[in-house]
Each structure stands twice: as C-alpha cells, then as structure tokens.
Structure 1
Amino acid sequence: MFGAFFKPKNPRVPPGQILTEKFPVLTYGPVPDLKPEEVRLELTGLVEESRVLGWSDLMALPQTEQVADFHCVTRWSRLDVRWGGVRVLDLMPLVRLSPEVQHVLVYCYGGYTTNLPLEDFLRPENLLAHTLFDRPLPREHGGPLRLVVPHLYAWKSAKWVRGFRFLAQEELGFWEQNGYHRRGDPWKEERFSEAG
C-alpha cells in the first residue's frame, strides 16, 4: 500500500546522503591555476629513494578508466562518475616503501592536505584522475590531477595533488585537524572526529 508513495532506498547510497545529478564544487581556499606540464608529483617520506614525476611520466604509466560513486560529507552523492587516470597501484612500483610505512599524507598545490591509512591508499579503485566524463579534469574539480578514493568521503579525494608522503605514524590533514573524522567511511557516517 505504501509502496506507491515511497521509493525504495538505493542500496548504493550511504546513510544520510541525498542523490544529485549535479556535481557540486566545494573547495577550501583558492583554485590553483596549474597547467598539466607544470604538474610535479612527489613521492617522499619513508621511501628508499624519493621520486618526482612530471606529467609525461604520469601519461607513460598504464591509463585506466573507471566508474565510481562519489559521496560528499556535506550529504550529497553522485552515482556513476566516470574518471580516467593512473591507478595508485600502477604508480607504486616506482617507489620502494620502508617496511614501517603505515600512513600516507596527501599534499596539494594550494596547501591542502589529507591523510590516509596505507591500506586505504593501496586499494585497486583509487585513481590519480586527469579526466572526468572523458574530458580533461576541470580546474574546479581538481584538474589537472586529483586523487579519487571512492570508498571514503570526498574530502579524501584531494584536488590538485602535489605529492604523497609515506609515514610510519599518522599525520592529520587539514580537515582532520579541524574536526573531521580521521578516516571518513560514508557507510559508517564517519563525518566528524570521535572527540566531537
């Protein structure tokens, strides 16, 4: 009887989220004006040898297209977002990590940072994206290069990525220092820090 009035909840939408067909732009700070040829991706920290990759280095790596759902902590979700870029797992053979590495600090042009446990960073669906819906990634969405971590809230999918610092101990990023959860699992509604 009530089925005619209520649509069943989409099982792909985490609790507390609302679906949108739009792709809202939320950014802290100014949008960097960065050309692809200016991109430098640094791999530093507890590594055998630090590396700096340019745009041509990234384009020479295997390229992947994937479709993933995208969940923002501000309670909107966009399903079936099509990204193109380099899988994090295809980047990792270029650097040898120290055995004590457990965490990654992602840092960006413009000064933004976010943190990830190594196990969350090394998932096969994580991507260094340079295209969005088959077009070059727009600046406002993190172009020329952003990280996409689909299984966590979108603030972990850092825009304008400049590097990854591999660490033994967790170092909190910008939003994590300002009240957001350390991990940000949308299915557990890990929006804000445990300390409240």
Structure 2
Amino acid sequence: MSSPNAHRLPPGQYEARGWPVLHFGAPPAVDAATWTVTASGAIEHPTTWTLEQFRALPRTTLTADFHCVTKFSVFDNEWHGVAARTVFAELQPTAEASHVMLHGAEGYTTNVPLDAMLDDDVLFAWRRNGEDLTVEHGWPLRLILPKRYAWKSAKWLSGIEVMAGDRRGFWEERGYHNDASPFTEERYSYQEG
C-alpha cells in the first residue's frame, strides 16, 4: 500500500516514522545562558546576539517537510523560530553578497546561496511540533532549509557568515553536492558537472 504522501516524496526518499537523529560526532555541550550567534562578512550591520536576543526577534511558525540525504523524509513539521528574511533584513547584505556560510558547533559549516536563504520557507528554529528541539536535533538553534537536503540545515547554529562568493562547507568538502536539491537527487559531488 502506498503512502498518502508518495506524490510529495523526492526521488529515492522514503517517508520516515518519527524523526531519525543523524550527525557527525557527539552532540555538543550546550549552555543556553552563554550561547551566541554572530553574523559577519559582507553585511552592513555585523551583529552578535545572545540566544535571548535572537529569540526576541519577530517570530513565526511554518509548516515544511524535511529531507535527509540518507533517504528519509518527514512531512508537515511545524517549525517555530525567526524567518531568515527577518534576520537578513537586519543584517543588510552588501551588493557583493552572494552566499552564506552557516557555522555550527565543533567547527561544522555548510554553504548556501544567499537567494536560497531568502526563500519564504527558511527559518532559524528552536521548536518543532510544539516542543523545543532536543540537543540531538540541533537545540538551541538550527537552520531549517526545506528545499535542500538536511545537512544544509545546520544544527547548533552559532555563526552566519555572508560571503562575496562561494566556499564549500564541511560535507561539501567531503564529497556531498554543493547545491543539495532533494528533488533532483543532488546527493554527491560526482553528480555535478
């Protein structure tokens, strides 16, 4: 019997039961009282927020799917946080800004084109389906980028580096596709070209 969401599945994906946890290494030790998010690079207003200051930005809730490169998809997640458009409106990227490097704990990075960050479904989230994210799922803050495989949705977000040009992040340097569209199965870089 096929899933009622089969028409929404990207190629090569299956609908997961629950929300599997995958990440490189162990989850970091997180202290919300000292956590900061720093925005730097090709922006008019470099900023460092405490977690409390970041969460005081205008909040929103959106419903979006989640697609992992390991082939599972989770539908209709209700995410709560701050829209990326809200954050970038405060930062004011400069004319030469073209890409964003997201920095997470333990040196994790992932790169995203600026125009993809400004989609209306991109969110810096700390809640899912009415509950705070667990540390394993990226609490206290993670990016949600529904139109890309989930490694682009950086967990434990601590930095937003706006760049005048592209640079590959952690998994992209290790062979994952630079663009990561689940709907065209951009899983690995040998497919590029």
**Equivalent position amino acid for 2:84 in 1:** V
Q: How does 1:39-50 map to 2 (within 5 A)?
A: 39-50=35-46
Q: 1:168 aligns with which of 164, 169, 178?
A: 164
Q: How does 1:1-196 map to 2 (within 5 A)?
A: 10-194=6-190
- Rounded to whole Å, the distance in 1 between the matches of 2:100 and 2:4 is 38
Q: From the superposition, tell whether residues 102 and 41 of structure 1 become closer, same or farther in structure 2 (CA, over 3 Å).
A: same
Q: From the superposition, tell whether residues 7 and 126 of structure 1 become closer, same or farther in structure 2 (CA, over 3 Å).
A: closer
**Equivalent position amino acid for 1:29 in 2:** G
Runs of 4+ off more than 4 Å: 5-9
The total of aligned residue pairs comes to 192
Structure 2 residues without counterparts, runs of 5 or longer:
none
User: 1:91: Cα distance to partner?
Assistant: 1.1
- Does structure 1 retain, via aligned residues, the 8 Å contact 2:45–2:90? no
Q: CA RMSD in A?
A: 1.6
- Does structure 2 retain, via aligned residues, the 8 Å contact 1:103–1:115? yes
TM-score (norm 2): 0.94
Q: Which has the larger radius of gyration?
A: 1
User: 1:175: Cα distance to partner?
Assistant: 0.4
- Does structure 2 retain, via aligned residues, the 8 Å contact 1:103–1:116? yes
User: 1:187: Cα distance to partner?
Assistant: 0.3
User: 1:49: Cα distance to partner?
Assistant: 3.4
Percent of residue pairs identical: 38
- Does structure 2 retain, via aligned residues, the 8 Å contact 1:30–1:110? no
Structure 1 residues without counterparts, runs of 5 or longer:
none
- Does structure 2 retain, via aligned residues, the 8 Å contact 1:40–1:162? yes
